[in-house]
């Protein structure tokens, strides 16, 4: 019943074409699946990752055109991160962001490892973290057709930061229920606020960390474009996922129960501060219904939506996702 690390993070965009351009051509990720939001088939769900979208490498986006901007605040996934191989890679990215006019901060060591914070075109808050001294969950394999040199390429997702109004109930769920371990703290960026708590699961390291900060001075987040919808954690297989259902119920947390997403199986619940967590299986994977060489080029629909393809495609604006 031990969670293996971060599985994926799902965020919000109002502009799928620009989103595709930024995450494939600026950041060098691969679009491994162009599909639909299974809870609202009128909008795209885009999955980016390493060369095949391995668990722990996937950043996904729901596209909702005309979505209002995100208003940051408490009870939110306030920052996400990507892993790179070493400190030198951060220098490469700093130079790249400057040449492409991507908003970014300076390289920092405040969390205990070298990192570089930046934002995408909608204000999505992202941090590149160095794996130079990392021990723990292995990273992925950068996409071979990426515009980024392999030695500097993104290896997968790094720590996820949660900002909450009351830290104790969130930490209690992560430790007592989900099995995370408290490993260290570091000072908050905001004067007068408590230290940020670092927790890890599984083999630990950058691919298995959650950073929890308490902010008593913030209103709740208003989720919009540039915000994060939920974070998913890795479960080995379906049998183990099903074993989590009564465990979540016994903790008094309402949940979705078992959900078949076809590319993985899921369970959703909210922790006490209202942040949406998902548990997701490592398989079957994104090459289940598409050839590995052509992932993300066409609209992929799980079999249980295939009979609706005509109606679904009629509602979606065409999105060219073939790399020129």
pLDDT in tens, 95-153: 999 999 999 999 999 999 999 999 999 999 999 999 999 999 999 999 999 999 999 99
pLDDT-based confidence at residue 1 (cuts at 50, 70, 90): confident
Is the pLDDT reported for residue 285 higher than 80? Answer: yes
Encoding tokens for residue 130? 């160095």
CATH topology of domain 6-284: 2,3-Dihydroxybiphenyl 1,2-Dioxygenase; domain 1 (3.10.180)
Q: What pLDDT does 323 receive?
A: 80
Collapsing DSSP states into helix, strand and coil, what is residue 46? Answer: strand
Is 144 exposed, middle or buried, given 0-12, 13-18 or 19+ CB atoms closer than 10 A? Answer: exposed
Is the pLDDT reported for residue 321 higher than 80? Answer: yes
Q: Could you tell me which residue, 39 or 323, shows the higher pLDDT?
A: 39
Distance separating alpha carbons of residues 69 and 76, to the nearest angstrom: 15
Mean pLDDT, residues 207-225: 97
Q: What pLDDT does 149 receive?
A: 98
Q: What pLDDT does 50 receive?
A: 98
Contacts 24+ apart (CB under 8 A), 301-308: 301/35, 301/36, 302/35, 302/38, 302/261, 302/262, 302/263, 303/262, 304/260, 304/262, 305/36, 305/38, 305/41, 308/41
pLDDT-based confidence at residue 11 (cuts at 50, 70, 90): very high
pLDDT in tens, 241-255: 999 999 999 999 999
The mean predicted confidence, pLDDT, of the chain is: 97
Q: pLDDT exceeding 70 applies to what percent of the chain?
A: 100
Distance separating alpha carbons of residues 243 and 248, to the nearest angstrom: 9
Is the pLDDT reported for residue 156 higher than 80? Answer: yes
Cis bond before residue 284 (omega within 30° of 0) = yes
Q: What pLDDT does 246 receive?
A: 98
Mean pLDDT, residues 191-212: 97
Alpha-helix runs per DSSP H in 123-184 = 167-172
Q: What pLDDT does 311 receive?
A: 97
Q: What pLDDT does 313 receive?
A: 97
Is the pLDDT reported for residue 324 higher than 90? Answer: no
């Amino acid at each position: 019943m031990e969670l293996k690390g971060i599985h994926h993070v799902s965020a919000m965009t109002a502009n799928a074409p620009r989103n595709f351009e930024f995450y494939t051509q600026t950041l060098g990720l691969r679009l491994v699946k162009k599909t639909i939001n299974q809870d609202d088939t009128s909008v795209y769900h885009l999955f980016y990752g390493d060369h095949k979208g391995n668990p722990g490498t996937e950043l996904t986006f729901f596209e909702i055109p005309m979505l209002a901007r995100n208003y940051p605040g408490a009870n939110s996934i306030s920052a996400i991160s990507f892993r790179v191989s070493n400190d030198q890679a951060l220098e490469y990215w700093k130079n790249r962001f400057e040449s492409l006019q991507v908003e970014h901060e300076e390289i920092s060591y405040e969390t205990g490892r070298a990192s570089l914070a930046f934002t995408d075109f909608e204000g999505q808050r992202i941090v590149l973290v160095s794996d130079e001294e990392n021990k723990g969950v292995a990273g992925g394999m950068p996409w071979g057709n990426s515009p980024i040199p392999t030695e500097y390429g993104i290896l997968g997702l790094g720590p996820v930061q949660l900002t909450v109004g009351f830290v104790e109930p969130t930490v209690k769920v992560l430790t007592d229920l989900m099995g995370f371990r408290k490993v260290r703290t570091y000072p908050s960026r905001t004067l007068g606020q408590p230290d940020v708590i670092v927790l890890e699961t599984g083999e630990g390291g950058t691919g298995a960390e959650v950073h929890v900060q308490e902010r008593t001075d913030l209103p709740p987040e208003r989720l919009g474009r540039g915000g994060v919808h939920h974070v998913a954690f890795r479960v080995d297989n379906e049998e183990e996922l099903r074993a989590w259902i009564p465990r979540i119920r016994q903790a008094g947390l309402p949940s979705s129960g078992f959900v078949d997403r076809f590319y993985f199986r899921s369970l959703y619940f909210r922790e006490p501060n209202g942040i949406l967590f998902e548990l997701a299986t490592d398989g079957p994977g994104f090459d289940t219904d598409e050839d590995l060489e052509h992932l993300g080029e066409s609209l992929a629909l799980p079999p249980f939506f295939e009979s609706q393809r005509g109606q679904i495609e009629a509602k979606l604006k065409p999105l060219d996702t073939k790399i020129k």
